[in-house]
Structure 1
């Protein structure tokens, strides 16, 4: 999607002047963000910069202290909005797989569609098997999580998020807990989802991946979106000294 197309599209997610504190610590400071449909927004920055908190606020897992958040034009931070209804439209994948160990892969994936969305067992299982096949896990439906590699468990977590047919997918450092050789298989799934037009926001330390896959990159520092732009702009010609210093350290560490 071109820069002109992105700017013209009505955002799936919009955050305006969002502020979040924990005690006396300000974690997000007047954050503005727009995520157009069918795009990938990458949140980058040092640990503790506010990336994960931003995602948790977007999914209403954390209450904001000021500002507002919209999903497809609906203000979801309005006190009268049912947060559970909003979460049904947003898929989230965390760095911890959070799979139920006593359930098979298929049972993990179909739990939310059946219990939360009222989908029949047959429909839920059919859709789950289709997704498993797409992600190279067709033979793992009856397996238990402890029989899977870390990369396979993370792919199952992504399938579980996709199974509810979300409007928006949020990824929070989904490769952080993986061995290096397993990172590629999970990132390949995200690339495929991008090609299919899924709208995504991902917090990541995988700078090369963010550079290659993101339509929009936001650099967070101290709870502030200090700089934003296309991947080419942020990684090729960052304007803020703090962004330049962060990326220089990433390059020196051989991570970009």
Structure 2
């Protein structure tokens, strides 16, 4: 059984169709990279999976449960899903440690000492143990994004969603965030990541899905989709990427 299965997802904004009958299945311990032009539906798909957007039609199943059922408590679902956005979304008035422990303590009712011990362990793992008491404005963009990923990991999610996590970073800071994603893959974390980093998608993903017009137009192993795509629309997109020097 797939860990995540999307069937016939449809989402519109003001009459504009963003997801148009999208289907996607992801097995546990797999990394899926979503690629496509801006407006193709990548971010909206991730937001729908995390129940931040309400579907117009279709179903989303996580571990076999229909989480898109209106009777489902979205907060309970989000305890099993970690999401990291383009913007770091850290609370500026809280220290790094407090940002990471906020949800485990207040939402999951874990003892503070236990949550802080786990948070410090995770921060040490990503090389930020010494920054536990620092505030976000004292960190570089790459450090803030790593804290955001640690914050998502602190809830021990079944699934991680990463939405263009390097797009707001200076080029020299991208590598440290991508290194952390590689570590998560090595640990067996199931991830869906929307990215414009084609080289990274080729390296880390088990499956690449090209989205266009709110649908998965082509899907398969990175070496085939990025190296020898079969769909004309995929070939056109990648040709533009190559011309821009991004592949």
Segments of structure 1 that go 5 or more residues without pairing to the other structure are 1-9
CA distance in 2, matches of 1:78, 1:47: 29
2:91 maps to what in 1?
Answer: 100
Please name the residue that 2:140 is paired with: 149
1:234 pairs with 2:228: no
> SS at 1:169's partner residue?
strand
Q: Pairwise mapping of residues 153-232 of structure 1 onto structure 2 (< 5 A)?
A: 153-232=144-223
Instruction: Determine helix, strand or coil for the equivalent of 2:226.
Output: helix
| CA–CA separation in structure 1 for the residues paired with 2:155 and 2:11 | 28
Alpha-carbon distance in 2 for matches of 1:172, 1:98: 12
Q: Secondary structure at the match of 1:48?
A: coil
* Conserved? CA contact 2:23–2:215, under 8 Å: no
| SS of residue paired to 2:127 | coil
SS in structure 1 of the partner of residue 160 of structure 2: strand
SS of 1:32's equivalent? strand
Say yes or no: does 1:60 pair with 2:60. no
- Superposition deviation, residue 78 in structure 1: 1.1
Q: Give distance in 1, aligned partners of 2:28 and 2:136.
A: 33
* TM-score relative to the length of structure 2: 0.99
Post-superposition Cα deviations, 1:2-45, rounded to whole Å, max 9, x if no partner, equal xxxxxxxx211100001001121000010000111001000000
Deviation at 1:225, TM superposition (A): 0.8
Separation in structure 2 between the aligned mates of residue 158 and residue 83 of structure 1, nearest angstrom: 20
Aligned length: 247
- In structure 1, the partner of 2:40 is 49
Match of 1:111 in 2: 102
Aligned-partner Cα distance in 1 for 2:80–2:97: 21
Deviates more, 1:79-88 or 1:107-116: 79-88
Q: How does 1:63-102 map to 2 (within 5 A)?
A: 63-102=54-93
Q: CA deviation at 1:230?
A: 1.0
TM-score normalised by L of structure 1: 0.96
Q: Which runs of 4+ in 1 moved over 6 A?
A: none
**In structure 2, what is the Cα distance between the partners aligned to 1:33 and 1:191?**
23
1:38 and 2:29 correspond: yes
How many angstroms apart in 2 are the aligned matches of 1:37 and 1:76? Answer: 17
Given candidates 124, 128, 145, the residue that maps to 1:133 is 124
Cα offset, 1:83, TM superposition:
0.8
Q: Which residue does the alignment assign to 1:4?
A: none
CA distance in 2: counterparts of 1:233 and 1:29, whole angstroms: 25
What's the offset of the Cα at 1:249? 1.3
1:51-110 CA-partner distances (Å, limit 9, x unpaired): 000000000000000110000000001121111110111000001000001100000000
Deviation at 1:254, TM superposition (A): 1.3
Segments of 5+ residues of structure 2 without an aligned counterpart are none
Return the alpha-carbon distance in structure 2 between the equivalents of residues 80 and 147 of structure 1. 42
